[in-house]
Amino acid sequence: MEKLLVKIRGDSMWPSLKDGQEVICTNYVGQKIDVGKIVVFIHPFDNRIIAAKRVAGLSNGGLFVEGDNPDPTSSDDSHNFGVISIESVIAVVD
């Protein structure tokens, strides 16, 4: 599978991933995604934004994603926009 290099921007995934950190990802082509994995996806409200969040739950073809930062105001995630479509996933962090 193809690998992608993704640069993290912002603090929503701190302390796991830090602002400016580059992570290697596997291009998403339909492989199983487990709870606990970090996915890179197109933001459901703004397709110009690519986001990285941890999968907290699975729901009928969708994923509930959350930032790791313990500050609830630091992450725009499924608490704000609900479950994301599996079709919006671009990659899975290795």
The residue ranges of every structural domain in the chain are 3-93
pTM above the 0.85 mark? Answer: yes
CA 39 to chain centre: 4
CA atoms of 22 and 34, how far apart (whole Å):
22
Task: Encode pLDDT of 3-54 as tens digits.
Answer: 999 999 999 999 999 999 999 999 999 999 999 999 999 999 999 999 999 9
Q: Specify the CATH class of 3-93 in words.
A: mainly beta
Q: What's the rounded Cα separation, in Å, for the pair 34 and 39?
A: 10
**Rounded CA separation 55/36 (Å):** 5
